[in-house]
């Protein structure tokens, strides 16, 4: 949807999506998120001595989105064809949107060159990317249709849309359902995994934040159970950690581009129709006029006496192009952080002499800015907490 012009088809995409992933609608997905989060915790426990946190987070984010969108279950110990398709599509997207990678962006008339001519290799590449994308749309959609025919799916996003139409779906509606589901899978898996990794980086760099969050969890929840969505309104500091991560590590530094639909003037600047505008989200999120000490990770900035504005209205996009899966992402991130901190400590790694290795937060360049891998160690907080993951 992010690449579509604003027209009738775009409005249909937004309308159908909103029926399934509104704040109210996503409540039905909470049991899925809780089961997948517990599975993630057990994977971390079994693999806590290896440097695989980033991979586990990506797998966790993908598993949740696959269950929500298609009621499709994955085995984290095996390669999965639909997961592989999603990864391939995101790799293609990263290559396709890389600035300066394609000569046709600099010399637009090259689009008229026949495919067989030298210099037109981008057309062959685009066709390969297109086939990957279509496969990533059609295969999981067909899986849902088969499951519904067997009476095995009545909760997923795709199944919900098919049932809501109460009739035979026309080709345009099938296309919209398939495209919106695939878009949320590809975008949601990649960004949620990357955002969670940035939160763990913050917890290692700022151990006092981790300690304060665990104190809150122990006070509100205790050690007889894991935090749940019902605790969210009481775990204000944990929720603030998720909010601060969205601001501190602005995942899409330039935001998502918009195209002007008519001539405009802003503060004396003339902006012609069809101008590509980037919202510079990272700059907005680190503006010292809005956020004090903007380069520091400070979840308390959202409480008294600061009451600084939450970042969600910026980082999830603006207006009609706001991220449709933002409520799912918020819920997933909150539950993952709350349950992880209830069970585990994540700390700086130590060298051969037992001294802590200094961790420096660094961002890698890209359309999606990722955190540079960092050394860490993970341990269960106590024997009482171990029982949740064995």
Binding residues for heme, as ranges, are 323
Give long-range contacts, CB 8 A cutoff, 24+ apart: 355-361. 359/201, 359/204, 359/205, 360/205, 361/201, 361/202, 361/205
Helix axis angle, 207-220 relative to 236-248, nearest 10°? Answer: 150
C-alpha distances in Å from residue 21, one per residue of 138, 139, 188: 21, 22, 13
Report the b/e string of 251-290 with b at 16+ CB within 10 A: bbbebbebeeeeeeeeeeeeeeeeeeeebebbebbeeeee
Residue with tokens 């195209």: 259
Residue list for the binding site: 323
Residue with tokens 């907005």: 284
Q: Cite the beta strand spans of the chain per DSSP E.
A: 258-259, 264-266, 269-271, 276-277, 344-347, 363-364, 370-371, 377-380
**Tokens representing 44?**
């971390």
Distance (Å, rounded) from C-alpha 230 to C-alpha 159?
Answer: 26
Residue with tokens 């599975």: 39
305 preceded by cis ω (within 30°)?
yes
| SS3 of the chain: helix, strand, coil, percent, to 5 | 55, 5, 35
CA dihedral (192, 89, 64, 280) in degrees, to 10, reads 20
Residue whose C-alpha is closest to residue 213's, from 327, 36, 38, 345: 345
Residue with tokens 């295969």: 139
Which DSSP state fits 196?
H
Sign of torsion over alpha carbons 74, 141, 175, 324: negative
Strands 258-259 and 276-277 turn out to be antiparallel
């Amino acid at each position: 949807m992010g690449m579509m012009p604003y027209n009738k088809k775009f409005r249909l995409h937004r309308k159908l999506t909103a029926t399934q992933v509104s704040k109210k609608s996503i409540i039905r997905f909470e049991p899925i998120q809780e089961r997948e989060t517990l599975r993630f915790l057990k994977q971390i426990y079994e693999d806590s001595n290896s440097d695989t946190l980033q991979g586990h987070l990506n797998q966790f984010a993908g598993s949740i989105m696959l269950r929500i969108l298609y009621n499709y279950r994955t085995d984290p110990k095996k390669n999965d064809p639909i997961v592989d398709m999603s990864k391939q599509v995101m790799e293609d997207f990263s290559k396709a949107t890389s600035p300066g990678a394609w000569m046709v962006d600099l010399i637009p008339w090259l689009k008229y060159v026949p495919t067989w001519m030298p210099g037109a290799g981008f057309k062959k590449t685009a066709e390969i990317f297109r086939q990957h994308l279509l496969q990533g749309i059609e295969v999981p959609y067909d899986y849902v249709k088969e499951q519904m025919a067997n009476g095995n799916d009545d909760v997923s996003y795709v199944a919900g849309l098919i049932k809501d139409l109460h009739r035979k779906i026309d080709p345009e509606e099938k296309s919209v359902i398939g495209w919106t589901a695939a878009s949320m899978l590809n975008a949601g898996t990649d960004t949620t995994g990357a955002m969670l990794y940035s939160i763990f980086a913050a917890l290692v760099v700022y151990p006092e934040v981790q300690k304060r969050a665990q104190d809150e969890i122990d006070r509100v929840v205790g050690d007889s159970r894991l935090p749940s969505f019902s605790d969210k309104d009481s775990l204000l500091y944990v929720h603030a950690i998720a909010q601060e991560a969205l601001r501190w590590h602005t995942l899409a530094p330039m935001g998502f581009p918009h195209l002007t639909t008519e001539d405009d003037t802003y503060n004396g600047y003339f902006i012609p129709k069809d101008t590509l505008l980037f919202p510079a989200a990272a700059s907005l999120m680190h503006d010292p006029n809005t956020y004090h000490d903007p380069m520091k990770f400070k979840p308390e900035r959202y409480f008294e006496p600061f009451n600084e504005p939450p970042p969600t209205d910026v980082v999830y996009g603006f207006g009609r192009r706001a991220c449709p899966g933002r409520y799912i992402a918020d819920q997933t991130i909150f539950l993952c952080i709350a349950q992880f901190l209830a069970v585990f400590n994540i700390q700086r790694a130590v060298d051969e002499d037992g001294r802590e290795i200094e961790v420096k937060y660094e961002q890698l360049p890209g359309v999606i800015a990722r955190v540079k891998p960092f050394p860490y160690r993970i341990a269960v907080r106590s024997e009482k907490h171990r029982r949740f993951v064995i």
